[in-house]
Amino acid sequence: MRVAFSDLSTPPPTWAEIFGNPNPVEVEIGPGKGAFLLAMARNYPERNFFGVEISKRRAFRLAHLIEREGLANAIVIHADIGCLLRTFIWPNSVSVYHLYFPDPWWKRRHQKRRLLRDDFAHLLASTLAPGGKIFLASDVPDYFAALVQQLTAVPSLTRFPWQRDHVTRKGKPILTDCERKYREAGHSLLYAGFHKHV
Ligand SMILES: C[S@@+](CC[C@H](N)C(=O)[O-])C[C@H]1O[C@@H](n2cnc3c(N)ncnc32)[C@H](O)[C@@H]1O
């Protein structure tokens, strides 16, 4: 993990300062074990990938894998995306948000811990660059519907019928760890895309 950010009195670094280049930045929220982020970074060196993972163990494990592969275009940070959206991520700066099977806490009693709380959808939209996209996948219909509803309510966003099109340079699908597991188990999965107006 290469980003240290402890002084809230100074402005956060820009993506160009963090990655050392002006390439577009894609943020994966909750990369977990990191199969998707690692594969995307390997296949698309002209884009930067920034993982935000609230589990310390997972974040450190993924940071180790990134270092081991020497992927200069990938970074993972141990943080809560809800906090980063308010303090760290510049408005209109993210080219893509990847939000895949984001909430392990979808049961009603876990509602307080959900990403969906507060103004999550508005914060995502405001930090997204004009023309930027949000890709969403879930296996929990109620949760998916609630998230889609929140995002649809943001005036600057429009939904489009995204299925699955993240592939390697050779056209092989790039899946997340959960996605692979759920597909193998025969679960039906839900996908949606949103883009921000230019
Ligand atoms: C069910 S796992 C999915 C992991 C991965 N996206 C996949 O599809 O395999 C959800 C991940 O989101 C992370 N997470 C949950 N809430 C988060 C938050 N507020 N900020 C950052 N990461 C979060 C969890 O720690 C976990 O690693």
Choose which residue among 55, 118, 143 to substitute to test ligand 1 binding: the one with the highest number of ligand atoms within 8 A of its C-beta. 55
Given phi > 0 = left and psi -120 to 50 = alpha, else beta, which region is 70? Answer: left
Range name among 43-52, 75-84, 116-125 with the lowest pLDDT average = 116-125
Q: What was the pLDDT predicted at 96?
A: 98
- For ligand 1, the distance from its centroid to the CA atom of residue 98, given in whole angstroms, is 11
Mean pLDDT of 87-99: 97
Please work out, in degrees rounded to the nearest 5, the angle formed at the alpha carbon of residue 175 by the alpha carbons of 157 and 98.
25
Candidates 136, 134, 139; CA nearest to 181 is 139
- Choose among 81, 51, 54: nearest CA to 65: 51
Residue 1 is predicted with a pLDDT of 47
> Could you report the per-residue pLDDT of 132-177, keeping only the tens digit for each?
999 999 998 988 998 999 999 999 999 999 888 899 999 999 999 9
* Residues 4-57 pLDDT 10s: 455 567 889 999 999 999 999 999 999 999 999 999 999 999 999 999 999 999
Specify the pLDDT at position 158: 98
In total, the chain counts a number of residues equal to 198
Please, which pLDDT band fits residue 108 given cuts at 50, 70 and 90?
low
Long-range contacts at 176-179 (CB < 8 A, ≥ 24 apart): 176/31, 176/32, 176/35, 176/36, 176/100, 176/101, 176/137, 177/32, 177/33, 177/34, 177/35, 177/36, 178/32, 178/100, 178/101, 178/139, 179/36, 179/100, 179/101, 179/137
pTM of the model: 0.93
> What pLDDT is stored for residue 3 in this prediction?
47
- CA 135, 30, 105, 119 dihedral sign is negative
Choice from 33, 36, 50, 54 to test ligand 1 binding pocket (greatest atom count within 8 A of CB) = 54
Ligand 1 binding pocket includes 104 (Cβ within 6 Å): yes
> Domains in the chain and their CATH numbers?
20-196 (3.40.50.150)
